[in-house]
Amino acid sequence: MAEEKGPTAPPGLKIVVVGPTQGGKTTVSNYVASDEAVDFEYPFEYNPTVGVRILECERNLGGPATPVEVWDVGGSTDYEGCWPAIMHDAHGVVLVYNPEQEGQVSESGAWYEYFVQNNDLPDEACVVFAFAPNAQRGTRQRVSPKIEHLNVVNISLDDGSLVKTQFERFLKAAKARKDSGGGGGEAKGAEYK
């Protein structure tokens, strides 16, 4: 990462993964940032994320490989003081919540307002994973009215390939916005769906 020398533009994409505590951010982050063909599964044991973890990978999004940083943010509000710094220069937000947990459904709306709206990011810069680990495919999951206009993807632990596909699409759209010169709010969204 450190030796990366892009011709002109600063390298890479910064993607911030946010949402209520125990929603599955670390589970999703580990999966999408892995370079190996790993299964979509829980970490060996649950450890609340302290502050933020930064996972680095490279993805082929067209042209030379793009360095991607996945910032897996701890869901505890104890780290609220770090959130502005965490969001600095972010290109996209992945919002993860567990739709089977009543409180997380409403909390997800507040995470969207804080991390997307307050940062003047376009809605296209946010993908939502409603992560119900053991749900049956096709289960209709609850969505907060605040985020129902976004791209909300229902996933369970059986949906690893869907997570990968959606994440890659999301990265391509983020790269297109970045390449078109938009740093954030004013960026034109590339067609996403």
Ligand X SMILES: Nc1nc2c(ncn2[C@@H]2O[C@H](COP(=O)(O)OP(=O)(O)OP(=O)(O)O)[C@@H](O)[C@H]2O)c(=O)[nH]1
Q: Rule CB under 6 A: is residue 24 a binding residue for ligand X?
A: yes
Q: Rule CB under 6 A: is residue 75 a binding residue for ligand X?
A: yes
Task: Indicate which single residue of 10, 48, 181, 183 sits in contact with ligand X (rule: CB under 6 A).
Answer: 48
Q: Which does 6 bind (CB under 5 to 8 A by kind): ligand X, Mg ion, none?
A: none
Interface segment toward ligand X; rule CB under 6 A; list 5-13, 19-27, 154-162, 167-175 = 19-27
Total residues at interface with ligand X (CB under 6 A) = 15
Distance CA 167, CA 178 (A): 16
Q: Rule CB under 6 A: is residue 25 a binding residue for ligand X?
A: yes
Q: Please answer whether residues 171 and 15 qualify as being in contact, where contact means their C-beta atoms are separated by less than 8 angstroms.
A: yes
Give the list of residues 6+ apart from residue 80 with CB closer than 8 angstroms, or none: none
Q: Rule CB under 5 A: is residue 119 a binding residue for Mg ion?
A: no
Q: Rule CB under 6 A: is residue 104 a binding residue for ligand X?
A: no
Give the 3-state secondary structure of residue 130: strand
Q: Rule CB under 5 A: is residue 22 a binding residue for Mg ion?
A: no
Interface segment toward ligand X; rule CB under 6 A; list 37-45, 62-70, 110-118, 151-159 = 37-45
Cβ 99 to ligand X shortest distance, Å: 13
Task: Indicate which single residue of 34, 49, 76, 101 sits in contact with Mg ion (rule: CB under 5 A).
Answer: 49
Q: Please answer whether residues 154 and 130 qualify as being in contact, where contact means their C-beta atoms are separated by less than 8 angstroms.
A: yes
DSSP string, 131-186: E-TTPPTTPPPP--TTTTTSEEEEE-TT-HHHHHHHHHHHHHHHHHHHHTT--STT
The residue whose Cβ lies closest to ligand X is 75
What residues numbered 115-154 form the site for ligand X, per CB under 6 A? none
The H or E element that residue 40 is part of is: none
Give the 3-state secondary structure of residue 57: strand
